[in-house]
Amino acid sequence: MIVSVTVDRKKGGIANSLISYSKALNLINEKHLIVLPKNAAAIEVLQDHSNVEILELNKKSLYFHIYTKFILRPDIAKHLKKSKWIFIHNSKLLKHFSNFFDKTGLINHSGKLRNTNHNAYNIFITQSGLSRFLKKYPDNVSKNIVICHGFDLLKPKIQNYRANSKRLEIIAAGRFIQKKGFEDLIDTAVMLKQEKISAQISLYGEGPLQSKLANKINELELANISLMGWCPNLRDEFTKYDIFCIPSLIEPFGLIIGEAMMNGLPVISTKTDGALEIFGGFSEDRGGILVDFSSPNQIVEAISRLQDEDYRDLLSCNAKANIENNFSLKRLSTDLKQLIDDEN
């Protein structure tokens, strides 16, 4: 059995990685016990996985049992001691496991380096994250590896919206917070309007900046950008769009990038760790166009280029091939099996 532990309840990166890890572990016939807070966003999906056992605890109780090394929950301690591996998904929990359980690995979702050097295993999701760690801790004695996320290669629903519209439909999605860079997309919409480029931007998500974004759109009287609200399943929405755009200032991996590419959408992305990992140094060959941070003018230039349907189709094919060849669930399961087998 493999155990994952998190205190995170939110939608997004950790929740999605728990789901993809569960699917990948199922491919190699491994059970997955997940210890997490009650009402965590991932539970609704995870409970349908045949290889997953969910252990929900009140968040305060979960912290208490972690800090006391589960001395009052011998049932959980037994699972932890018998497990082949324990994956920790929050760095602040690491010190409570790494000196108590032998095979413990920190999944470095955030790209931040705090607590990483205290562990026998640091599992980075990008090569950039590992490189920064080795630069900061050149004398570290921990074992450091890169295991990128994997995507479920379900056949996307294909529907050709281009046959009925000359307007480019652009989708962006994420939490409405500063680091996602969505204000740059409003500036992009202004430039698109000025240059008379026929394109519509749809922003899916929610968060603390929602009112600010809505007010700015209204003040500028922009009809070519809309807030669409939170969508629990973007896979069905991707079929309505031509391009995926992600203007993030920070994106440790960017699961949403891979999901869009898997559905055949060319991607316009800033040069975050995740985008650089997915696209390498050959972004167009791998299905995307990389732009500098906070550069709406470069986003507009990329959109303008993607008005060419043949070019857009080329990037679409490259995007799907990139995910299938380099970031599949099968590849993730292979990486996890190698990690498990090497230490057992």
In terms of Cα–Cα distance, which of 260, 301, 300 is closest to 172?
260
Give the N- to C-terminal CA distance of the chain in Å, as an integer. 12
Distances (CA, A) of 120 to 100, 106, 127: 12, 9, 18
Looking from the CA of 110 toward its CB, the CA atoms found within 13 Å total 13
In terms of Cα–Cα distance, which of 113, 110, 102 is closest to 135?
113
The arithmetic mean of pLDDT across residues 132-154, rounded, is 84
* Bridge partners (DSSP) listed for residue 195: none
The arithmetic mean of pLDDT across residues 79-85, rounded, is 88
The CATH number of 2-150+328-342 is 3.40.50.2000
Q: What is the CA radius of gyration of the chain?
A: 21
| 181 residue type, one letter | G
8-state DSSP, 224:
S
Structure confidence at residue 232 (pLDDT): 78
Q: Is the pLDDT of residue 14 over 60?
A: yes
Q: Which residues of 133-164 are buried (b: 16+ CB within 10 A; e: fewer)?
A: beeeeeeeebebebbbbbbeeeebeeeeeeee
CATH class for the region spanning 161-326: alpha beta
The arithmetic mean of pLDDT across residues 283-287, rounded, is 84
**Higher per-residue pLDDT: 189 or 128:** 189
Residues of the chain with CATH 3.40.50.2000: 2-150+328-342, 161-326
Q: Is the pLDDT of residue 27 over 50?
A: yes
Q: To the nearest whole number, what is the mean pLDDT of the chain?
A: 89
Q: Read off the pTM.
A: 0.84
Q: Is the pLDDT of residue 49 over 90?
A: yes
Q: What are the E-state strand segments in the chain?
A: 2-5, 32-37, 52-57, 85-88, 104-108, 121-124, 143-146, 168-173, 199-204, 225-229, 243-246, 267-270, 288-291
pLDDT-derived band at 3, boundaries 50, 70, 90: very high
| 300 residue type, one letter | V
Q: Is the pLDDT of residue 53 over 90?
A: yes
Q: Is the pLDDT of residue 180 over 90?
A: yes
Structure confidence at residue 160 (pLDDT): 47
